[in-house]
């Protein structure tokens, strides 16, 4: 009897482990599919604010990726999708500049009134920026937003904003889906992994 019980216990543990692994696999595949679907969906509509998520800046000038995001946010603003644009992102290698500040200045130089611009300049990553944007929105009585970023990034952005109690829609910047199959595969994997870490409270 003593030999049978441990054997049975090991079988039960093995079954439980397999079920957990299967559940994780299903969750991961579902996340990847959802990321791809979101990437191909433009949900532009009138909201309280357009939120342009940051990317690299080079000593006061937006990188090509950030500039493309800002240009798309500018197009949405000119289409009257929202009365405000919130730019996000903290400082990079040069503490004199932040992604949010550079975004603000770029949009101001392209004709967006200062009264329509809000900058978030301390977020070190997407999750931190989402938290700070939510605080800014609540402080200003804003409840809905149209998020602008690269296509595969927007699934995670929407979940982060929803977790902060914000009604969030997404509009990917044009041309942000990689051309090669390999680049698209790794972009999806990176976002799925980041999302999984966030769901597990590891980031």
Give mean pLDDT, residues 13-36. Answer: 91
Residue 34 lies in a domain: no
**Residue 142 falls inside a structural domain:** yes
The dihedral sign for the CA sequence 52, 40, 203, 95: negative
> How do residues 162-171 score in pLDDT, each as one tens digit?
999 999 999 9
The H or E element spanning position 199 is helix 181-199
Q: Is residue 20 part of a domain?
A: no
Write out the H or E segment, with its range, that includes residue 41.
none
User: Residue 147 falls within a domain, yes or no?
Assistant: yes
Edge to edge, the sheet with strand 117-119 lists: 117-119, 85-87, 49-52, 144-149, 167-172
Give the number of domains in the chain: 1
Residue 15: which pLDDT band, with cuts at 50, 70 and 90? confident
Q: Within a domain: residue 5?
A: no
Q: What is the pLDDT of residues 54-90, one digit of tens each?
A: 999 998 999 999 999 999 999 999 999 999 999 999 9
**Does residue 87 lie in a domain region?**
yes
CATH classification at residue 143: 3.40.50.620
Domain assignment present for 30: no
């Amino acid at each position: 009897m003593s030999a049978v019980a441990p054997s049975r216990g090991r079988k039960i543990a093995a079954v439980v482990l397999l079920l957990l692994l299967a559940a994780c696999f299903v969750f991961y595949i579902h996340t990847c599919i959802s990321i791809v679907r979101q990437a191909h969906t433009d949900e532009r509509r009138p909201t309280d604010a357009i939120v342009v998520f940051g990317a690299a800046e080079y000593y006061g000038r937006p990188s090509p990726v950030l500039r493309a995001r800002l240009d798309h946010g500018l197009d949405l603003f000119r289409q009257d999708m929202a009365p405000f644009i919130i730019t996000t992102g903290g400082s990079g290698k040069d503490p004199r500049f932040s992604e949010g500040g550079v975004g603000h200045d770029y949009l101001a130089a392209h004709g967006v009134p200062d009264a329509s611009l809000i900058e978030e300049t301390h977020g070190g990553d997407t999750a931190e920026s989402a938290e700070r944007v939510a605080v800014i929105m609540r402080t200003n009585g804003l409840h809905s937003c149209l998020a602008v970023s690269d296509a595969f990034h927007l699934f995670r952005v929407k979940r982060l904003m929803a977790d902060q109690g914000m009604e969030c829609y997404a509009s990917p910047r044009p041309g942000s889906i990689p051309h090669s199959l390999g680049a698209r595969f790794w972009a999806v994997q990176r976002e799925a992994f980041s999302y999984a870490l966030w769901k597990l409270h590891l980031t």
